[in-house]
Structure 1
Amino acid sequence: SSSAGILPHHDIIGQLPGQFLPTSTGARLLLRRPSLDEYVLLMPRGPTIAYPKDISAILMMMDIHPGDTVLEIGSGSGAMSLFLSRAVGPKGRVISYEIRDDHHNLAKKNYRHWRAAWEIGHMEEWPDNVDFVLKDISTAAADMKSVTLDAIVLDMLHPQIALPVVHPSLKQGGVCAVYLANITQVIGLLDRIQTFKLPFLCERIIEVTHRNWLVVPAKIKNCKSSQMVETQENIEEAPQKEYEEIHIQDQVVLKEDEFNESFSGDGETFSSVPYVARPSCWQEAHSAFLTKLRKFRPLHS
């Protein structure tokens, strides 16, 4: 149920994605499967998730390959776990530690639900390659001795606590990516590395920002009415009509003088419908600082 009308679930179930389905008001909605980044943004969550824009940068930082073994500290709601699972593939392994019981159970549930949904419409099942461990990483030194890690990702309040425990298991030259909310935490992390002479070199500290843009058909608003700018061509053009019906809430309204100023130009016509392009009024705010640490071999060893 929405402002565009009602679309019963039984009209959706069993249909193939990529088609339009009519609502009770005659509006048409495009049916498609959610992508992984959409799923993690909408799935049930306890703690704040690592956002997809940051996760993609973290995966590039760690240079994950299929078959790698990756340690995640801080399962949270399972967002990072899902992306790591896809990155390492069926032959890889993700070990995810979480100290809180409620977060641990939620991460497992979200991971299980995604795998179950993936089986619908895919020939191969999503790999079952994540080991969720309910344990404080500071007490897991014995567990780490038997593991060789290709990369580590830390999403926890005080990551400096975990570094002395996990760094012996990280391969030489491997990357530890740290997800922190504020720059004070980053300073505390680097100070701990310096003070305790941990074998990590800080290569990068970044924020990931996306600038969203709006590019939509315009409407002309005069003193009598507000109507779509139409020509004979776009009235008869079905694809344009579909676009107008689907994205009606995104249309930009221009006054007549604004329209004339913006689109009269030198008389050259590029489109039968005027478009407005501008940065979206909704922009993604700061989410985290991403710190890339590289393990090195000390000169005296």
Structure 2
Amino acid sequence: MTTPTGADRRRGPFAEGDRVQLTDPKGRLHTITLTPGKQFHTHRGHLTHDALIGSPDGSTVTNTAGVEYLALRPLLSDWVMSMPRGAAVVYPKDAGQIVQMADIFPGATVVEAGVGSGALSMSLLRAVGEHGRVLSFERREDFADIARANARDFFGGDHPAWSVSVGDLVEALPGAVDDGGVDRVVLDMLAPWECLDVVSAALAPGGVLICYVATATQLSKVAEAMRDHGTFTEPQAWESLVRGWHLEGLAVRPQHRMHGHTGFLVTTRRLAPGTTPPLRKRRPGKGYVTSEEAGEGDWTPENVGERVPSDKKVRKVRRSVTGTSDPS
């Protein structure tokens, strides 16, 4: 049985070429690539890479000034946050949601656009395994080169399941896959609604489309486009916020800093050919219009989903807080 790509770099003693994450007594992180004869310097002494080569993962090493460091192999989440990047990376909290909520499974054929710096690609490749396929499309050749280099560095070579194509998804996808031959599609781009025709043709019935967008306006537009297309289920959208906790003795509290909004995720599934999507059980509000149809007068509390209190209730509350009757 062959070892899965990159697995030999995730276990065993530290070896030449391994990337190691050093944590100092104050919790500061330093990432080094082990090279025989090389030294890691700070303003408080230095340590040799040779002192780590051959040591087990999770060891400690002391520098010339007596400062002790914990040495661990960086996790994938650590790796993507510290690797060279051209475009902004998909944060680990969002990559984990994409793999789970899009149901990326071993052996799946997954289409990804765009690639950015390759952070999400690594999670997708981990999920599909050696026998799956990740077909990544990126408009910018420089971003594609950075992504390939980052993934090659992480896996220790080219992953057999991955191909990266430079070009526009709308133009390139029909010639790259058969109709209905794709299990999952992940879109991380400015205008995913422009790709719905080719994505719909490529996805197998029941296949999942998940889009990662940065703003509420993009979220609204792609959700409306999914509904109007007629070949997708009702879209669902969410975001995830991660707040760490400070743990020290009795001082157990939320950290002052947190990973707040990074992007929205919206997901839908491909209907079987010829199937008409069922009507939504929740009817749109009175005067419902799409974001594209909206004019200046359409931006009312009712149309944006706010609960508008009745005049009777407002009068009652007013009387209760002011102690006076309604002058009208």
Task: Compute the TM-score of the two structures, normalised by the length of structure 2.
Answer: 0.67
Question: What's 2:71 paired with?
Answer: 31
CA distance in 1, matches of 2:211, 2:196: 10
Q: CA deviation at 1:147?
A: 6.7
Q: CA deviation at 1:300?
A: 5.8
CA distance in 2, matches of 1:3, 1:205: 48
Tell me, what secondary structure is at the counterpart of 2:156? helix
2:137 corresponds, among 97, 101, 109, to 97
2:166 corresponds, among 134, 152, 155, to 134
Is this contact kept in 2: 1:89–1:127, CA < 8 A?
A: no
Greater Cα shift, 33-42 or 162-171: 162-171
Establish whether residue 82 from structure 1 lines up as the match of residue 122 from structure 2: yes
Question: What's 1:201 paired with?
Answer: 233
CA distance in 1, matches of 2:216, 2:60: 46
Is this contact kept in 1: 2:231–2:275, CA < 8 A?
A: no
Question: What's 2:253 paired with?
Answer: 278
CA distance in 2, matches of 1:171, 1:3: 57
Question: What's 1:6 paired with?
Answer: 46
Is this contact kept in 2: 1:21–1:31, CA < 8 A?
A: yes
CA distance in 2, matches of 1:91, 1:201: 29
**Residue identity opposite 1:188 in structure 2:** K
Tell me, what secondary structure is at the counterpart of 2:240? coil
Q: CA deviation at 1:69?
A: 0.6
Q: CA deviation at 1:18?
A: 1.2
**Residue identity opposite 2:146 in structure 1:** L
Question: What's 1:157 paired with?
Answer: 190
Q: CA deviation at 1:191?
A: 2.4
Unaligned runs of 5+ in 1: 118-125, 218-274
Task: Compute the TM-score of the two structures, normalised by the length of structure 1.
Answer: 0.73
Q: CA deviation at 1:281?
A: 1.5
CA distance in 2, matches of 1:155, 1:41: 18
Question: What's 1:67 paired with?
Answer: 107
2:262 corresponds, among 261, 266, 287, to 287
Q: CA deviation at 1:168?
A: 1.0
Question: What's 1:183 paired with?
Answer: 216
**CA-atom RMSD in angstroms:** 2.0
CA distance in 2, matches of 1:54, 1:114: 19
Compared CA separation, residues 45 and 202, structure 1 to 2 (3 A): farther
Is this contact kept in 2: 1:164–1:198, CA < 8 A?
A: no
Tell me, what secondary structure is at the counterpart of 1:64? coil
Deviations 1:10-37 (A, max 9, x none): 3233332111101222121111101111
Question: How many percent of aligned residue pairs carry the same amino acid?
Answer: 34
Tell me, what secondary structure is at the counterpart of 2:242? coil
Aligned length: 235
Is this contact kept in 2: 1:70–1:150, CA < 8 A?
A: yes
Deviations 1:197-245 (A, max 9, x none): 241123421111111001124xxxxxxxxxxxxxxxxxxxxxxxxxxxx
Is this contact kept in 2: 1:202–1:291, CA < 8 A?
A: no
Q: CA deviation at 1:82?
A: 0.5
Compared CA separation, residues 296 and 147, structure 1 to 2 (3 A): closer
Question: What's 2:244 paired with?
Answer: 212
CA distance in 2, matches of 1:287, 1:281: 18
Deviations 1:82-123 (A, max 9, x none): 111010011111000011010111111111111118xxxxxx
Q: 1:227-238 alignment to 2 at 5 Å?
A: none
Establish whether residue 40 from structure 1 lines up as the match of residue 80 from structure 2: yes
Is this contact kept in 2: 1:85–1:130, CA < 8 A?
A: yes
Establish whether residue 173 from structure 1 lines up as the match of residue 203 from structure 2: no
Q: Which has the higher contact order (CA 8 A, sep 6+)?
A: 1
**Residue identity opposite 1:165 in structure 2:** V
